[in-house]
Structure 1
Amino acid sequence: MENNIRKKDIAIVGISGKYPKSDNINEFWKHLMNGEELVHFYSDDELRAAGVTEKELANPDLIKAQASLEDPNSFDYSFFGYTRQEAMSMDPQVRMMHELVWLGLEDAGYNPKTYKDKIGLYLSASDNMNWRAYTMITNNDNVNSFYLNQISNKNFISTLISYNMNLRGPSYYVDTACSSSLVGIHQACRSLLMRECSIAIAGGVRVYSKVYKGHQYQEGMTNSKDGHCKAFDEDSSGIVSGEGAGVAVLKRLEDAIADKDQIYAVIRASVVNNDGNRKVGYTAPSISGQYECIKQAQQIADATPESITYIEAHGTGTKLGDPIEVEALNKSFEYNTNHHCALGSVKTNIGHLDSAAGITGFLKTTLALKNKMLPPSLHFKNPNPEINFKSGPFKVQTELSAWTSKDNQPLRAGVSSFGIGGNNAHVILQEAPLKEEIAENNSYKLLRFSAQSVGALNAYQERLTSFLEENEKDNFQDMAYTLQVGRNQFKYNRFLVSNSRENAIETLKDPLSKSVYSGKLSQKRKIVFMCTGSGAQYLNMGKNLYEKEPYFKELIDKGFSIIKTLTGVDVTKVLYGENAGAEKNTDINKNEFTQPIVFVFEYALAKLMMRWGITPDKLIGHSTGEYVAACLSEVFSFETGVKLVAKRALLMNKTPGGSMLSVSLSEEKIKTYLNDQVSLAVVNSPESCVLSGTDSAIEALIEILETEEILCSKLRISLGGHSFLMDSVLEEFRQELEKVEFSAPKIPFVSNLTGQLINSEEAVSTQYWVDHLRHTVRFSDGLATLLKDSDSIFIEVGPGNTLTTLFQQQKHDETSNNTAINLVRHPKQEINDQEHLCQKLGELWMNGIDINWETYYGEQKPYRVSMPGYVFNKTKLPVKVNPFAFLNFSGSEEGAIAAPLTTEDYDDSEAFQEDLEDNAVSFVNYVPPSNETEEKLVEMWKSFFSKDEIGVLHDFFALGGNSLKGVTMLKLIQKRFDIEIKIKDFYQKSTIKELAAEIDMGLKLVTLQEESTYKSVMTI
């Protein structure tokens, strides 16, 4: 198939929708393919309950049909940071579009919270005067009147959502009546081509706020006489009204291809025009206007009429509209009777959706192109005799059929939408270009997902499991990648590591699986890299990483090449060679190999982490590991570091033989065992030290310690590091160090000699590094220094878990939130290196560490694919209202005016409500109120934010407050306490504790002023 890609082409990269009997766009597509009508025909009892009188029910012209949404009243207000009171006043259409815009971006594989470029928004919504009247007449003291005017008004739909999601591109409300949402598509395309944004979202919504009571059929008007929309049929009589909403996410095609986005279809052209007065009346359609719009679109698309094989028509089923539309199409297609073009209208399935009509036909056609299937247009039996089908290529699509191309040309379609007043819109769509398929591999992938509540997290796991079971054709790595880059992180997190779709399904379905990890999100932490010293090395350490991670291998090879130049030995064979796995091979433990191998390995691993966005704020090394820390801090170059460590190792080999012994004693208690033959080499933890000495002295000491039942263990090192045994090579090492060009550290790291952060003078001093070889490594003191910062994550960038264990042996403050993670498996762990690392990346993610997944995949970047969207909390809110019931227009006994907005009237009976109090991401510990003022404020905030647990340290703005909410809350506080507080003071003292103190001080001043006035009066 020829792709014919042009710079002005636009890709459809994400979609979402909610329609009658269809909770999502995929369910809607299934209904369309099955040829289902989604119109609901109301029973008399249903209409009686809505207030329809017996007299009205007896009227034969009362048509009891509408394509209604099943749950238009559900909205996860806390997900978007609104209070319940605000959500109850918000236009139901605005509520719904919050969720659909979010889901559309998720479907495209983009996270609005982390996307760095501009996203534009072009939305339409239907008339909502009924809702506006309801919110203005009813009483809602918890919402500022100025803010109420915005959230209850459809005109603010785009800017409200742009503000909520931080979308920084153009934000338009589009209203051209029935063609609004297709005009929105046109505007979105223009903004992309003008480079006003990199992603553009267009859509439309219609949700009725009026209680449905049927519609009256009137001959010659647009409403159907039987509740069916029979486009193009001789028995057609007009439209039936419907509810629904849809969203499309767009990008420039060239960008979408470069970014490996999923592409549903391509927009080749979009055109909007107006009929002018070339018609019988303002509301009538025009052949000329429609023809000019369609023809111009074909010209801009470089699409001959013969290349277009489907038209999604405006297709209202009216006696006047259908014949005019087909005649305009015939003219646009040059009355070519040799060509065949299918014709359909989604209004036959769901009726007319007004502002959402254009986007609905657009989405139907988009999915038809993606699936290469043409769904049937319903209720067509015999053509309307007024329609000139004989003079053109059009035939109504009456059955589901495969959509095939001719002569290897791409499939193309046209979508029309025409608005009352003459605004016409036409879009030319083309099937997506072929993408380069990436072969599936068996590498391990991290599947992660997140939610604002435990219930939503569990529900998403079920949905993800079903999706994996149903989608065998999608690349598993693409799925993992999409979840990594295209989803926001919330309070509750879960992940698993798997190398196949089948294994992932099995793991997710096992409720007792230990391979699914769950945890709460920690606030963003400082990162400390811990660089392991000699002694932790083992054969084949990180071999799977060496084979799978090109950047890691590149640095390893570079370092080992330097070592080979210095020593003549290829240490790659020592670590990963044919004999590397042999038990007899002990070369890895020879000091001349151990130190440089460990240095290169840890440096490569640390740089790999930094490449993936995991950058240390501080560093600490253990003996040789401090050279890694210094090199990462750019005290010296990588090449210099390799040479220096290799030379250091060779010099140490020239020292008299010795041994090192680990002893489970504190530094204070071990001093009694020190003498001129035994030195304190390392203080590892409060209860663990390492001694160095001559072989005979160490052997004698072992006998003493065993007699005293003190745990000790001889290290696999044949020299006495950090002791008097190093004295003979210190001068020669000094000479080597004097050749080095040192620089001040760029990342703070801890000195082994002092246990404190090293200063620039020490780091660049030759004497410092000489002393480092000779004197005690005070690693325990160094960790204690770093642990003073109570919210850090310590990452061991070396083999095994030696330093992670020492971290755990430290004394930790009870309030500390520090944790440690080792990136490389212990030699006794039977797990793939890559699988282990993926697990650790998952743990880092749950600890609030951002990972750059783009660099993680490098040149092997996967595609974004459609994955299940967020499972929103189904909270019930008012939708169908009658603010004018007291006027009793219909003569029915409906009662008085609608009651004030209250929480009692709408019970949250759906899933997840038990987790609602967890929905606000707050990292503040709960502290209860300690006085009456604090108690009153806590109760006020609980009611205002609809949350059960609020303490005195919670911040008004962190809980979801903003400037307008602040004004409302301030008025409530002033009314409750009868005291004036300036708005500036409220913003600066926004926790309950601070605010209560301000109120108490103000009340005290008022009392003193009153007493002073009283005394003055008494004196007079």
Structure 2
Amino acid sequence: MTEYTGLEIAVVGMAGRFPGSSTVEEFWENVLAGEVGVRRFTDEELDAAGVTAQRRAEPGFVPVGGALDGIEFFDAKLFGYSPRDAAVLDPQQRVFLECAWHALEHAGHLGGGAEVGVYASASVDTYLLRHLWNNPAVPGGLQPLDLLLANDKDTLASRVAYHLDLTGPAITVQTACSSSLVTIHVACQALLGRDCDIALAGGVSIRPPVHEGYQHTEGGILAADGRCLPFDVDAHGVVAGNGVAAVVLRRLEDAMADGDTIHAVVKGTAVNNDGAGKVGFTAPSVNGQARVIRAAHDLSEVDSSTIGYVEAHGTATPLGDPIEVAALTQAFVHPPSACALGSVKALIGHLDAAAGVAGFVKAALAVGHGVVPPSPYFTAPNPETGLEDSPFFVNREVLPWPGDGPRRAGVSGFGMGGTNAHAVLEEPPSPEPMPPGRSRHLLVLSAASEQALEQSRKRLAEHLAAGGHELADVSHTVRTGRRALRHRLAVVAGDRADLTGAWTGSGDRRDVVFLFPGQGSQYAGMASQLADEEPVFRAALDECAAHLPFDLHEVLADAERLTRTKYTQPALFAVEYSLAKLWQHWGVRPVAMLGHSVGEYVAACLAGVFGLRDALGLVAARGALMDALPAGAMLSVPLGAADLDLPPDVCLAASNAPNLSTVAGTFEAVGRFEESLAVTSRRLHTSHAFHSSMIDPVLGEFAALVSEVELREPRIPFVSNVSGTWITDAEATDPGYWARHARAAVRFSEGLTTILANGPANLLEVGPGNVLSTLARQHDLTGSAAYGSLRHPREDKHDLDTVLAAAGRLWIAGADVDLGALTADERRRRVPLPGYPFERARHWVDLPGTAPREAEVVEEAREREVAATGDLAVITGIWQELLGIASIAPDDDYFELGGHSLLATQVLARITADLGVVLPAAAIFEAPTPAKLAARVEQLRAHEPEQDDEFARLLAEIRDMSPEELRAELDRERDAQEISQS
């Protein structure tokens, strides 16, 4: 078994797109099969890349490369870009942004909560140079600074940190061809130095036009025939490729403690530079490479004889390959009997700034799967390399890992100019066995659109059908390791996951109101399964039991004793209080509460009016006093309280719904009233006539008991059963109120109406059954919804089915639910799952000389603006032009369309120029739709004098301002407005 030093780094996630493969999994399949992603381009592809017939006919032109298809497509809406801004964003930055999302998702760490650092590299941006600069097809309104900001390599890491909300260091690393392997080294050092807890490291190299081919020159590094053959006798150069990859790293001890899936372990990394010890700046150095490899071995504390594979830099050049083999031979102080060499460049080409991470991913997969990847192209070694006299060889077929010790591999990356990097990888530790999970699991998914959500559902369903992961681990991963987006899905699964019956929605009802049921909702065994599987609930229930004069757990299981009021009321309180504590542990905090009869005591206790011990004592005393009274009857009547014509000996006990009430009295009085009704009523199974005059004999004694208890003002608002409105501090702290509460009719319907008047809410019944949620649905719940926490006694369900379903539906509705807390007490594993289905659309500025789609969009927008009339049409046309969106509706939100504050200055300047109205700098924030902005324009026109001299002067000044001057002026106006408002 491997012993760890505490300095190891775990590879817990990876993602990438390479020539010929769109995922890491597909990439690995191609590696094992020897599938080459480098290919010859078609005439159509060369035409689109602007390659003329004259150039194609030139000697040495090679129409071959490792192209990354689809780089013009991007999920702009997901990342908050307008089509205009997306079109000018460097495709390297777009593709790396999506790759970073998938890598963190693969690791199960996209959900946030940890300090995540970003370390990234990119190649020279040819999109800016070839496609954008001096191209009339670039969308209008963009300044040179805008183009630079969208294409500067320096912004790569920061852009990822911004869009993924990552708060660790964000550092762009540039060391030529070794850049992305150096990012991994820097990330490892940052983790060991505690700069971050998780690190995303990688690189991207996309140099459009990617289907252009290249010009071979004799003695150059580019292969004459479009084949890259590292270490082979026929090797004569490299082929350019395009690609992206990123890995997610953690300190090994943290990854193991958190149950991360570990794909490989980084034992150590090293970097250095050749200095001047070589024949030229671009030449490699044996000594420099050997020193960095040996340093990595020393830092890793591994014997070089235990390394079974090296993913070489392997450029297949006559100079580079012999130097690399010489450096390896010199660096391996204790040479192995045999060590395989390979280079991913043979399959996907040289990825420049992304080459190192591509090789790192290949080596990590190799040690993880325990196979040595093949180099099928290989025929015989280049005699200049000296391979035949070294311990190194190039294998043509997949080989089992040599030796009996831990599988170890080296990865080299050498940059032009002499910055060298080397990493030593080891196989991952065996996963620690996890205990069985709960019997039920909540699976959740979210996406930015309904279509993407459906695609996510299909992908996860297929993954689950194929098996391979424990359902508890899948549930843990999707709940804690994914970003919560607007469109959501949730389903509760038992032995197997069936996603066809999932709940979906995209609500924005954030507020939650707790509803606590009263006597009559209890049943034997209520919440018993919850107590078995939820430690938080069980602990709260045990705490309640410690303050009661009877064995609570025995009572909860005894149907007969639960018919006795002296047991029923405290048992209900204990279950509801414990359930509320569970919900609070899950992050669900009520903005308000409403109890039904004894349920109001739970609300008051949670609000701080009573301490738990006092609340339980009062509820137990209340139940005992009522239990000693003569029996009575209660009747449910399908009429509203105002529609009842009650005789003197029958009391209104509860106003439950607009057309449902409960009355109470003696058996005789209630019987006579029942016979007089023209509607069908229902006798309730209760032992006493609660909330009627039959309670009067105990009110004085109960008030005296309440007066002995400390009563405090409520910290959470709740509605009074007595008044049907918000309880006041004076009422909550008055012992007489609690005596009246036992006698007065329960104004539940009025109380619910009071709560709903505050706006849409999630009504959560916190107690057994679904009595209150059923009553709530008899009210006007427009915009609101009601959910139960525990099953009805006649339902054949597990307790977790109901409570987890409620948690999922609350989350779908937009309520704050801490999905990670649902199983915070048990250790689970994060497992790789299908990634987000990006909804990519074409956002591209074509090469000069072609018919740019963007220019057509702008021209169409202008034509519509000229043809239309009115302020709304003009404003809409300005938005369409500057945002690059062909169709914008009057109520579309500027910021949801991808607008931002810098572009807002141009929008306001255009409105001023075209409509002659000066809007304040904050106008677009206060009126973020075309319709609202048009209304602001009309409002300003109505309150300002007609074009007086001062206004004409101001308008003339604005029209003469440059965009930079106007932006500065608007910023000054906005600052002045903010100061005046504060």
Deviation at 1:347, TM superposition (A): 0.7
Bigger Cα displacement from structure 2, 193-202 vs 789-798: 193-202
Corresponding residue number in structure 1 for 2:674:
702
Distance 1:951 1:237, change over 3 A: closer
Corresponding residue number in structure 1 for 2:594:
620
Deviation at 1:810, TM superposition (A): 2.1
Corresponding residue number in structure 1 for 2:911:
973
Q: In the aligned structure 2, how far is the partner of 1:28 from the partner of 1:459?
A: 22
Match of 1:402 among 400, 403, 406: 400
Q: Are residue 118 (structure 1) and residue 139 (structure 2) matched?
A: no
TM-score, normalization by structure 2? 0.91
Deviation at 1:609, TM superposition (A): 0.7
Deviation at 1:155, TM superposition (A): 3.2
Deviation at 1:366, TM superposition (A): 1.2
Match of 1:572 among 553, 573, 578: 553
Aligned pairs for 1:30-45 (under 5 A) are 30-43=29-42
Corresponding residue number in structure 2 for 1:309:
308
Match of 1:476 among 463, 471, 480: 471
Corresponding residue number in structure 1 for 2:961:
none
Bigger Cα displacement from structure 2, 523-532 vs 134-143: 134-143
Corresponding residue number in structure 1 for 2:966:
none
Deviation at 1:561, TM superposition (A): 4.3
Corresponding residue number in structure 1 for 2:710:
741
Match of 1:535, SS? coil
Q: Are residue 644 (structure 1) and residue 644 (structure 2) matched?
A: no
Bigger Cα displacement from structure 2, 454-463 vs 232-241: 454-463
Is the 2:130–2:847 contact (alpha carbons within 8 Å) kept by the matching residues of 1?
no
Deviation at 1:739, TM superposition (A): 2.6
Bigger Cα displacement from structure 2, 257-266 vs 867-876: 257-266
Deviation at 1:866, TM superposition (A): 0.7
Deviation at 1:955, TM superposition (A): 4.5
Q: Are residue 849 (structure 1) and residue 815 (structure 2) matched?
A: yes
Match of 1:766 among 732, 735, 745: 735
Structure 1 gap segments, 5+ residues each? 884-895, 908-929, 1015-1020
Aligned pairs for 1:161-560 (under 5 A) are 161-210=160-209, 212-334=211-333, 336-337=334-335, 339-403=337-401, 406=404, 409-441=405-437, 443-470=439-466, 472-500=467-495, 503-504=496-497, 507-508=498-499, 513=500, 515-519=501-505, 521-560=506-545
The superposition leaves residues 220-256 of structure 1 with CA deviations (integer Å, 9 ceiling, x where unpaired) of 2111122111111111101011111101112222222
Q: In the aligned structure 2, how far is the partner of 1:416 from the partner of 1:726?
A: 85
Is the 1:612–1:855 contact (alpha carbons within 8 Å) kept by the matching residues of 2?
yes
Q: In the aligned structure 2, how far is the partner of 1:847 from the partner of 1:55?
A: 62
Q: Are residue 85 (structure 1) and residue 84 (structure 2) matched?
A: yes
Deviation at 1:484, TM superposition (A): 1.0
Q: In the aligned structure 1, how far is the partner of 2:567 from the partner of 2:951?
A: 88
The superposition leaves residues 834-862 of structure 1 with CA deviations (integer Å, 9 ceiling, x where unpaired) of 12222222211110123223321133131
Deviation at 1:196, TM superposition (A): 2.1
Q: Are residue 607 (structure 1) and residue 593 (structure 2) matched?
A: no
Is the 1:312–1:345 contact (alpha carbons within 8 Å) kept by the matching residues of 2?
yes
Corresponding residue number in structure 2 for 1:681:
653
Q: In the aligned structure 2, how far is the partner of 1:425 from the partner of 1:257?
A: 27
Match of 1:850, SS? coil
How many pairs does the alignment contain?
Answer: 943
Match of 2:588, SS? coil
Is the 1:144–1:964 contact (alpha carbons within 8 Å) kept by the matching residues of 2?
no
Moved over 6 A (4+): 1011-1014
Is the 2:181–2:360 contact (alpha carbons within 8 Å) kept by the matching residues of 1?
yes
Deviation at 1:276, TM superposition (A): 0.6
TM-score, normalization by structure 1? 0.88
1:489 counterpart letter in structure 2 = A
2:784 counterpart letter in structure 1 = N
Deviation at 1:587, TM superposition (A): 2.7
Deviation at 1:560, TM superposition (A): 3.2
Bigger Cα displacement from structure 2, 239-248 vs 453-462: 453-462
Distance 1:542 1:944, change over 3 A: farther
Distance 1:836 1:37, change over 3 A: same
Corresponding residue number in structure 2 for 1:692:
664
Distance 1:721 1:212, change over 3 A: closer
Q: In the aligned structure 2, how far is the partner of 1:1013 from the partner of 1:573?
A: 83
Deviation at 1:875, TM superposition (A): 0.9
Match of 2:459, SS? helix
Is the 1:15–1:246 contact (alpha carbons within 8 Å) kept by the matching residues of 2?
yes
Is the 2:588–2:815 contact (alpha carbons within 8 Å) kept by the matching residues of 1?
yes
Is the 1:140–1:900 contact (alpha carbons within 8 Å) kept by the matching residues of 2?
no
Corresponding residue number in structure 2 for 1:663:
637
Q: Are residue 936 (structure 1) and residue 874 (structure 2) matched?
A: yes
1:451 counterpart letter in structure 2 = A
Is the 1:230–1:380 contact (alpha carbons within 8 Å) kept by the matching residues of 2?
yes
2:664 counterpart letter in structure 1 = S
Deviation at 1:321, TM superposition (A): 0.5
Corresponding residue number in structure 2 for 1:721:
690
Q: In the aligned structure 2, how far is the partner of 1:1012 from the partner of 1:250?
A: 62
Deviation at 1:965, TM superposition (A): 2.0
Q: In the aligned structure 2, how far is the partner of 1:126 from the partner of 1:445?
A: 45
Aligned pairs for 1:850-929 (under 5 A) are 850-878=816-844, 881-883=846-848, 896=849, 899=852, 901-902=854-855
Distance 1:420 1:761, change over 3 A: same
Distance 1:537 1:429, change over 3 A: same
Corresponding residue number in structure 1 for 2:965:
none
Q: In the aligned structure 2, how far is the partner of 1:166 from the partner of 1:327?
A: 45
Bigger Cα displacement from structure 2, 152-161 vs 46-55: 46-55
The superposition leaves residues 511-541 of structure 1 with CA deviations (integer Å, 9 ceiling, x where unpaired) of xx4x22222x212521100000000112222
Q: In the aligned structure 1, how far is the partner of 2:753 from the partner of 2:319?
A: 84
Deviation at 1:257, TM superposition (A): 2.1
Distance 1:496 1:364, change over 3 A: same
1:644 counterpart letter in structure 2 = L
Q: In the aligned structure 2, how far is the partner of 1:855 from the partner of 1:85?
A: 41
Corresponding residue number in structure 1 for 2:964:
none
Is the 2:510–2:816 contact (alpha carbons within 8 Å) kept by the matching residues of 1?
no
1:128 counterpart letter in structure 2 = D
The superposition leaves residues 594-624 of structure 1 with CA deviations (integer Å, 9 ceiling, x where unpaired) of 1111111111111111111111111110000
1:136 counterpart letter in structure 2 = W
Q: Are residue 963 (structure 1) and residue 959 (structure 2) matched?
A: no
Distance 1:689 1:988, change over 3 A: closer
Q: In the aligned structure 2, how far is the partner of 1:945 from the partner of 1:45?
A: 31
Is the 2:516–2:595 contact (alpha carbons within 8 Å) kept by the matching residues of 1?
yes
Is the 1:337–1:390 contact (alpha carbons within 8 Å) kept by the matching residues of 2?
no
Corresponding residue number in structure 1 for 2:960:
none
Q: In the aligned structure 2, how far is the partner of 1:761 from the partner of 1:6?
A: 64
Distance 1:858 1:338, change over 3 A: closer
1:683 counterpart letter in structure 2 = S
Is the 1:654–1:729 contact (alpha carbons within 8 Å) kept by the matching residues of 2?
no
Distance 1:946 1:766, change over 3 A: farther
The superposition leaves residues 965-986 of structure 1 with CA deviations (integer Å, 9 ceiling, x where unpaired) of 2123223323332443342444
Match of 1:587 among 547, 561, 564: 561
Is the 1:620–1:626 contact (alpha carbons within 8 Å) kept by the matching residues of 2?
yes
Is the 2:67–2:211 contact (alpha carbons within 8 Å) kept by the matching residues of 1?
no
Distance 1:357 1:794, change over 3 A: same
Bigger Cα displacement from structure 2, 141-150 vs 413-422: 141-150
1:165 counterpart letter in structure 2 = L
Aligned pairs for 1:21-170 (under 5 A) are 21-43=20-42, 47=46, 50=49, 52=51, 56-58=55-57, 61-111=60-110, 115-138=112-135, 139-170=138-169
2:260 counterpart letter in structure 1 = D
Q: In the aligned structure 2, how far is the partner of 1:554 from the partner of 1:1013?
A: 71
Q: In the aligned structure 2, how far is the partner of 1:55 from the partner of 1:698?
A: 103
1:695 counterpart letter in structure 2 = F
